[in-house]
Amino acid sequence: MARATAAEATTTSSERILAAATSAFAELGFRGTTTRDIAARAGMSPTAMYVHHRSKEELLYAISLVGHQRLLAAIQEASAQGVTPTQRLGSVALTFGAWHAERNVQARVVNYELLALTPEHYGEVAQLRHGIDTVFRSIVAAGVATGEFDVDDVSMTCVSLASLGVDISRWFRSDGEWSTEQVAAHYRDNALRIVGARGQAGSAARE
Amino acid sequence: MARATAAEATTTSSERILAAATSAFAELGFRGTTTRDIAARAGMSPTAMYVHHRSKEELLYAISLVGHQRLLAAIQEASAQGVTPTQRLGSVALTFGAWHAERNVQARVVNYELLALTPEHYGEVAQLRHGIDTVFRSIVAAGVATGEFDVDDVSMTCVSLASLGVDISRWFRSDGEWSTEQVAAHYRDNALRIVGARGQAGSAARE
């Protein structure tokens, strides 16, 4: 199903292996995937694959690390595009929602297979997750400080915001009835409602 | 870790096997779990286990079916406890949120291993999931009709409400900083904000 096609032949072997491992982990789970499954999806022999990656865990670590790094960079950039907390949260939510819809296969691996990482690798990824939480937290706290947001428990609200975005990767499929853009816009509107953004709680939050 | 203790010796073998399978599937994934893993956790031989359940998939089906049936019954009962759409949504959300927090291990299996069911078993479970969606949908539609709720897209809003509840089972752990009750109450408040319940969008929604 994910065997290399002619069009993919230009990608490097390492990229092919990472893509194959991502699809296998998402479909079969980390523990349900064998090195042989990954090699078959990458269109190479297990021996050829071994040259690039020594273990399944190393592949999961590479996928998790790059996935979290890119998501963190994307939402930091999105946050900088707004001035007020409402604008910043709207921008970050749109990016966060789109990321989990568009890259739902990668996002499922990144979010649901975390505990299969070695403690050392988990620690590194946890730091990046903490960075993602910090982006949400700084915006929500700023909105509470300016009076734009109405939030009783900043920590719980930040967990809810991330949670609603992460779960998009569980249910969203690109061949479903809604587009990535629709899902991301709806997630942004929900995020603004959850923080009680003034003037956003009613229909004004909907486009 | 989940081997039978003296206290558990009074439960039936079948119950022990289902509990063992639930913990194994949640920890190792359906495909990462062997029949031997389940038998070990249930404290019995694979042969003794075979008497009760013929396959891993049959166990997953039993867990999924009972899990969905009980959740559907619980939220139908919760819905009947309110009169207005706001009361009904508040009651259903409190039950739905508490269920996913309290039974987070079972809920992870029920929600994340669905695709490992046979098409026939999947179809049966999908009908129960449709029933759960119908509970949310009837309340949200009623709230829109009475003008209590401010929702543009009932379908997307219902997906968001269920999604925010389901994801509790991913991140919640009973030994964490928040209680089941706190998480359920926060989820209910978020649900009322998401539908734009009048008089609930601001601090009135918080207790």
Distances (CA, A) of B113 to A121, B110, B204: 25, 6, 38
Write out pLDDT tens, residues A86-107. Answer: 999 999 999 999 999 999 999 9
For chain B, say whether A29 makes contact (Cβ under 8 Å).
yes
pLDDT at A63: 96
Percent of chain B at pLDDT > 70 equals 91
pLDDT at B200: 55
B159, B177, B179: which to substitute to probe chain A, counting the most A Cβ within 10 Å?
B159
Find, in chain B, the residue whose alpha carbon is nearest to that of A179: B156
Distance from C-alpha of A38 to C-alpha of A25, rounded to nearest angstrom = 9
Sign of the CA dihedral with B79 first, then B82, B84, and B87 last: negative
| Interface touch B202/A201, C-beta < 8 Å | yes
| Interface touch B171/A186, C-beta < 8 Å | no
Of residues B66 and B51, which shows the higher confidence score? B66
Complex-level ipTM? 0.89
Quote the longest CA-to-CA distance of chain B. Answer: 60
Q: Provide the H-helix boundaries in chain A.
A: 13-28, 35-42, 46-52, 56-80, 85-102, 104-112, 119-146, 154-166, 168-171, 180-194
pLDDT(B144) > 80: yes
Q: How confident is the model at residue B10 (pLDDT cuts 50, 70, 90)?
A: low
For chain B, say whether A147 makes contact (Cβ under 8 Å).
no
Q: Point out the residue among A112, A157, A186 whose CB comes nearest to the CB of B112.
A: A112
pLDDT at A180: 98
Find, in chain B, the residue whose alpha carbon is nearest to that of A152: B206
B23, B25, B30, B31: which to substitute to probe chain A, counting the most A Cβ within 10 Å?
B31
Distances (CA, A) of A202 to A97, A205, B90, B139, B147: 21, 6, 18, 18, 12
Other beta carbons within 10 angstroms of residue B198's beta carbon come to 17
Distance from C-alpha of B20 to C-alpha of B48, rounded to nearest angstrom = 14
Tens-binned pLDDT, residue by residue, of chain A (207 aa): 445 454 445 578 889 999 999 999 999 999 999 999 999 999 999 888 888 877 999 999 999 999 999 999 999 999 999 999 999 999 999 999 999 999 999 999 999 999 999 999 999 999 999 999 999 999 999 999 999 999 999 999 999 999 999 999 999 999 999 999 999 999 999 999 999 998 654 434 443
pLDDT at B52: 81
In chain B, residues with a C-beta closer than 8 Å to the C-beta of A150 are 202-203
Distance from C-alpha of A104 to C-alpha of A107, rounded to nearest angstrom = 5
Find, in chain A, the residue whose alpha carbon is nearest to that of B161: A164
Write out pLDDT tens, residues A5-30. Answer: 544 455 788 899 999 999 999 999 99
The reported pTM is 0.90
Q: Point out the residue among A31, A190, A201 whose CB comes nearest to the CB of B32.
A: A31
